[in-house]
Amino acid sequence: MQRHGILNSHIAKVLADLGHTDTICIADCGLPVPEGVQKIDLALDFGVPRFEQVVSIIAKHMKSEAVHVAKEIKEHNPE
């Protein structure tokens, strides 16, 4: 059993399989997901885990070539 790194086996596999030009999306609840697109739902309760927690941990375990942030994130999170 893995005890370090990404413990969620579905996320670990996605990260291991990523190559150049591949894209992942990290979003909070409510984002529409088209049919045929893999979705890994981590929700335990509303807001748990927090979006920032997920992004921070995932970013430690992958090399990003670009990051795109929706403009709404600033509108709805003024901090």
Question: Residue 78: what pLDDT?
Answer: 73
pLDDT at position 36 is 95
Q: What is the pLDDT of residue 2?
A: 78
Please report whether residue 1 resides in a domain.
Answer: no
**What whole-number distance in Å separates Cα of residue 63 and Cα of residue 66?**
9
The pLDDT of residue 1 is above 80: no
- Number of structural domains the chain divides into: 1
Residue 2 lies in a domain: no
Residue 79 has pLDDT above 90, yes or no: no
pLDDT of 60: 94
Model pLDDT for residues 31-56, shown as the tens digit of each residue: 899 999 999 999 999 999 999 999 99
- Identify the CA nearest to 76 among candidates 40, 39, 28: 28
Active-site annotation, residues: 20
Q: CA 56 to CA 61: how far, in whole Å?
A: 9
Range of the domain at 47: 9-76
Q: Is residue 57 part of a domain?
A: yes
The residues facing 45 across adjacent strands are 48
Residue 66 lies in a domain: yes
